[in-house]
C-alpha cells in the first residue's frame, strides 16, 4: 500500500484529500504545518508528498527541501492558492515533481497522484539497478584496498574486454565468483548471460546433463529435451566453479568446448556452435592434480591463459576494517538497523586476530549476524559467535609437547581432524557443502571424513 503525506494548514482540504485518497486504497498521513511535516518525513518513508506552499508564516519549500534530502526518490507535489510563475519555477528548480493550483478538480489531483507514484516506482527501480551495477564494479568495497587486491583489480581491467580464458584460484570464500562477474560485467559481453555451475556439487551424469543438455530418451529419466546451461549462456560468460572436481570424462568435453567452440547434447551426435567466454575457478592446486593424473594437462593449459590468484583474508588483514564497515552498511540497510555505527576496539581485535578459514564470505556472515543481534551503536564482542572468541588459529592449536610420554601421532591428528570437521559442520548449520568450503575440501573429501569420524548425524547434503 502506497503511503501519502498531506501538508496543509487548511483542515477542510486535508479531510477532503484523506477521504478521496483512502477510497483509492492509499494510506494517508496529514500534517497541519511545516515543523510537524519535517518530523514525519524524518521518521517515515512516504511514496508521495502533497504540500501547500504558503502556510501562515511557514513555507512549503522547506518541506520540499527536507524531502529532497531525506527521501530523494519521493516525488513532491506543490499546492497553492497563490499560483505565480515565480513560485512555480522556484519549486520546480528545487526538485518538485509538479505544481497544482487551488481549487483543483478531483480528476486533476487523481491524475497527478497516479503519474507521481509511477515516477517514484521508476526512480526506485533505476536507483536499485544502478546500485546493483555499481556494487558489481566497486569490488574495492567487497575485497579491500590492500596491494595484492589492487594488483588484481588492475589485471581485471586489462582482461575484461578480451575473450581470453581466465583461471581464478584461491581458497573458498575469497571472492572468486565475484572476480568472474567483474570480468563479465566490465567486458563486451555484459549484456548477455553470466551463467555458473559448481563442478563438484553433483554426480557426473547430472553435471554433464546440466552443462550440455540432453535429448529425449538419452537416459532412463530423460523424458523430454533439455537445453544445457552452456547453450543458454550463448554469447555470454560461463563460469566453471571448482573445476578441479570435474570428472575426467567431463574434462574431455569441456576441452572440446574450448578448442572447437561447440557442444553436443547427451544422446545426440549433432554438434552445435556456442560463443562463450570461459572463466574457471578452483581452490585446488591444478598443477598437482595434473601430476596425479586426475586433471587433464591439455585442459589445464587451455584454462590457465590468464591466471588470477586471490590471497586468503588472513594474509591481508589490513583490509579487514574496511570490509567490516562495508558489510555493516550493507546489513544496516537490509535489516533496518541504521544505528550500528561501527565496531568497538575489543571486537575489532578479535576480527584481526582470527584466522578466517572461510575468508571474506565468513566475515560477511559474522557481520550480518552481529548487526541483527547488536543493540548498541557499535558491534561488541558479545554479539560475535563463540567460534571467533574461542578460535584456535593454526599457530595456537594446542598439541601435546614432544617430551610427553605415550604420544600417538596418528591418533592425535585424527582427534584434531574430528574436532575441526565437527566445528565446521556446526558453523555451517550441518550443510556439508558449506562446511567443506570452509575447510578447503571437496564435497567428496568432506563426506569421507564425516563417515570416518561417525559424524553423519551432524551433516546434511542440501542447502
pLDDT at 121 over 80: no
pLDDT digits (tens, 9 = 90+) for 26-74: 999 999 999 999 999 998 989 999 999 888 778 888 999 999 888 888 9
Mean pLDDT in residue range 254-264: 95
Mean pLDDT in residue range 352-368: 91
> What is the 3-class SS of the chain, one letter each residue?
CCEEEEECCCHHHHHHHHHHHHHCCCEEEEECCHHHHHHHHHHCCCCEEEEECEECCEEHHHHHHHHHHHCCCCCEEEEECCCCHHHHHHHHHCCCCEEEECCCCHHHHHHHHHHHHHHHHHHHHHHHHHHHHHHHHCHHHHHCCCHHHHHHHHHHHHHCCCCCCEEEECCCCCCHHHHHHHHHHCCCCCCCCEEEEECCCCCHHHHHHHHHEECCCCCCCCCCCEECHHHHCCCCEEEEECHHHCCHHHHHHHHHHHHHCEEECECCCCEEECCCEEEEEECCCHHHHHHCCCCCHHHHHHHCCEEEECCCHHHCHHHHHHHHHHHHHHHHHHCCCCCCCEECHHHHHHHHHCCCCCHHHHHHHHHHHHHHHCCCCEECHHHCCHHHHCCCCCCCCCCCCCCCCCCCHHHHHHHHHHHHHHHHHHHCCCEHHHHHHHCCCCHHHHHHHHHHCCCHHHCECCC
Least reliable range by pLDDT among 17-26, 145-154, 291-300, 449-458: 449-458
Q: What pLDDT band is residue 134 in, cutting at 50, 70 and 90?
A: low
Q: Which residue has the cell 510537524?
A: 36
pLDDT digits (tens, 9 = 90+) for 423-444: 788 777 678 887 888 788 888 8
The predicted pLDDT at position 96 comes to 87
The predicted pLDDT at position 85 comes to 54
Mean pLDDT in residue range 152-156: 91
Q: What pLDDT band is residue 353 in, cutting at 50, 70 and 90?
A: confident
Whether the model pTM is above 0.85: no
The predicted pLDDT at position 394 comes to 46
pLDDT at 170 over 50: yes
pLDDT digits (tens, 9 = 90+) for 275-299: 999 999 999 999 999 999 999 999 9
What's the mean pLDDT when you consider all of the chain?
85
Q: Which residue has the cell 570416518?
A: 452
Q: What pLDDT band is residue 142 in, cutting at 50, 70 and 90?
A: low
Q: What pLDDT band is residue 339 in, cutting at 50, 70 and 90?
A: confident
- Do you find a cis peptide bond into 103, omega within 30 degrees of 0? yes
Mean pLDDT in residue range 206-233: 85
pLDDT at 398 over 70: no
The predicted pLDDT at position 289 comes to 95
The predicted pLDDT at position 115 comes to 85
The predicted pLDDT at position 129 comes to 47
pLDDT at 405 over 70: no
The predicted pLDDT at position 411 comes to 79
**CA 371 – CA 337 distance, rounded (Å):** 7
Q: Which residue has the cell 477510497?
A: 23
Mean pLDDT in residue range 222-237: 85
Mean pLDDT in residue range 445-451: 87
The predicted pLDDT at position 48 comes to 94
Percent of the chain at pLDDT exceeding 90: 42
Rounded (10°) angle between helices 248-260 and 204-212: 20
The predicted pLDDT at position 429 comes to 67
pLDDT at 457 over 80: no
More confident residue, 463 or 387: 387
Cβ distance 3 to 45 under 8 Å?
Answer: yes
Amino acid at each position: 500500500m502506497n503511503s501519502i503525506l498531506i501538508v496543509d494548514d487548511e483542515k477542510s482540504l486535508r479531510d477532503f484529500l484523506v477521504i478521496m485518497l483512502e477510497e483509492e486504497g492509499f494510506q494517508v498521513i496529514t500534517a497541519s504545518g511545516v515543523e510537524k511535516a519535517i518530523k514525519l518525513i524524518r521518521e517515515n518513508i512516504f511514496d508521495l508528498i502533497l504540500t501547500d506552499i504558503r502556510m501562515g508564516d511557514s513555507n512549503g519549500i522547506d518541506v520540499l527541501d527536507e524531502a529532497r534530502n531525506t527521501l530523494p526518490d519521493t516525488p513532491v507535489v506543490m499546492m497553492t492558492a497563490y499560483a505565480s510563475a515565480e513560485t512555480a519555477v522556484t519549486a520546480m528548480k528545487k526538485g518538485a515533481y509538479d505544481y497544482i493550483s487551488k481549487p483543483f478538480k478531483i480528476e486533476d489531483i487523481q491524475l497527478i497522484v497516479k503519474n507521481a507514484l509511477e515516477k517514484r516506482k521508476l526512480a526506485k527501480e533505476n536507483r536499485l539497478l544502478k546500485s546493483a551495477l555499481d556494487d558489481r564494479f566497486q569490488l574495492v568495497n567487497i575485497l579491500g584496498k590492500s596491494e595484492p587486491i589492487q594488483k588484481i583489480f588492475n589485471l581485471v581491467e586489462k582482461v575484461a574486454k578480451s575473450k581470453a580464458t581466465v583461471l581464478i584460484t584461491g581458497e573458498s570464500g575469497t571472492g572468486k565468483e565475484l572476480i568472474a562477474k567483474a570480468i563479465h560485467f566490465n567486458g563486451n559481453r555484459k549484456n548477455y548471460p553470466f551463467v555458473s555451475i559448481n563442478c563438484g556439487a553433483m554426480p557426473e551424469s547430472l553435471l554433464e546433463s546440466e552443462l550440455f543438455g540432453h535429448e529425449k530418451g538419452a537416459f532412463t529419466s530423460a523424458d523430454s529435451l533439455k537445453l544445457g546451461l552452456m547453450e543458454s549462456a550463448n554469447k555470454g560468460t560461463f563460469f566453471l566453479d571448482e573445476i578441479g572436481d570435474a570428472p575426467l570424462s567431463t574434462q574431455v568435453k569441456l576441452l572440446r568446448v574450448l578448442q572447437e567452440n561447440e557442444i553436443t547434447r547427451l544422446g545426440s551426435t549433432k554438434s552445435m556452435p556456442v560463443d562463450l567466454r570461459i572463466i574457471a575457478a578452483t581452490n585446488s592446486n591444478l598443477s598437482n592434480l595434473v601430476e596425479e593424473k586426475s586433471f587433464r594437462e591439455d585442459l589445464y593449459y587451455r584454462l590457465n591463459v590468464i591466471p588470477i590468484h586471490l590471497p586468503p583474508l588472513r594474509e591481508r588483514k589490513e583490509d579487514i576494517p574496511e570490509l567490516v564497515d562495508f558489510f555493516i552498511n550493507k546489513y544496516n540497510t537490509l535489516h533496518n538497523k541504521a544505528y550500528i555505527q561501527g565496531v568497538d576496539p575489543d571486537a575489532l581485535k578479535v576480527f584481526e586476530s582470527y584466522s578466517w578459514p572461510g575468508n571474506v564470505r565468513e566475515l560477511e556472515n559474522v557481520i550480518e549476524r552481529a548487526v541483527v543481534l547488536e543493540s548498541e551503536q557499535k558491534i561488541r564482542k558479545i554479539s560475535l559467535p563463540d567460534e571467533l572468541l574461542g578460535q584456535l588459529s593454526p599457530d595456537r592449536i594446542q598439541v601435546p609437547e614432544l617430551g610427553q610420554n605415550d604420544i600417538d601421532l596418528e591418533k592425535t591428528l585424527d582427534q584434531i581432524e574430528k574436532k575441526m570437521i565437527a566445528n565446521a559442520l556446526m558453523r555451517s548449520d550441518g550443510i556439508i557443502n558449506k562446511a567443506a568450503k570452509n575447510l578447503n575440501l571437496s564435497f567428496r573429501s568432506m563426506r569421507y571424513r564425516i563417515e570416518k569420524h561417525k559424524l553423519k548425524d551432524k551433516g546434511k547434503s542440501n542447502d
